[in-house]
Amino acid sequence: MTEGHGYTKFFPVSWEELHRHCKALAWRLLDAAESNGGHYKGVVAITRGGLVPAAIVARELEVRVIETISCSTYDGLNRTDRVDILKPATAAMADQGEGWLIVDDLVDTGVTAKAVRALLPKAHFATIYAKPNGRPLVDTFITEVSQDTWILFPWDQEAVMSKPIVELRGGGR
């Protein structure tokens, strides 16, 4: 996965870590909401990665209106510079996102964030993880990781039997 894609590190995230980071994001967003009269009109989840974080944040902030904006920047495993908006966040677009909260799992290169910002320029943009190239495009985030890191989200992992250390070294019985 990392060869040819510019990624030299892996950052695995467990369900528990993701939940803890989403709650930390909700705490920060609660403070930010004071400028909106203490609440957001709704949450816009960037699909697919933003769905789980958006659900947790919406629960913590007691926001009941959840929209999605479906974007695609990948062709298989290859990232492109083109963002296809597959489904817009119609309700939030009516007022350019004013009073709305956009949630995604991460901002990487910023390609998706720029496209969503263009549609919802007045919304508050929040992510769990931010990489240096995309970080200036979001208002709130929890954890910064290096640009060459591939984040392994829990929904992209599955449990498999690991080999004993001795087998990894070529030894064994």
Question: Tens-digit pLDDT profile for the chain (173 aa)?
Answer: 444 467 889 999 999 999 999 999 999 999 888 766 778 999 999 999 999 999 999 999 999 999 999 998 876 666 677 898 999 899 989 999 999 999 999 999 999 999 999 999 999 999 999 999 999 999 999 999 999 999 999 999 888 888 888 887 776 56
Whether 121 is covered by a domain: the verdict is: yes
What residue numbers bound the domain in which 47 lies? 10-168
Q: Is residue 152 part of a domain?
A: yes
pLDDT of residue 111: 93
Burial class of 134 by CB neighbour count within 10 A (0 to 12, 13 to 18, 19+): buried
In a domain, residue 74? The reply is yes
Active site residues per annotation:
104-105, 108
Q: Tell me, what CATH number does 161's domain have?
A: 3.40.50.2020
Give dist(CA 101, CA 95) in Å, integer: 13
Q: pTM of the full predicted structure?
A: 0.86
Is 4 within a domain? no
Reported as type and span, the H/E element at residue 81 is: strand 78-87
Q: Tell me whether residue 2 is in a domain.
A: no
Number of structural domains found in the chain: 1
Q: Examine residue 3 and state whether it is found in any structural domain, yes or no.
A: no
Pinpoint the alpha helices (H) of the chain: 15-32, 51-61, 90-93, 111-119, 165-168
Binding site for Mg(2+), by residue number, is 105
Which residues are annotated as part of the binding site for 5-phospho-alpha-D-ribose 1-diphosphate?
Answer: 48-49, 104-112
Of the chain, the end-to-end C-alpha distance in Å amounts to 31
The answer to whether residues 110 and 122 touch, using CB atoms and an 8 Å cutoff, is no
Q: Does residue 86 fall inside a structural domain?
A: yes
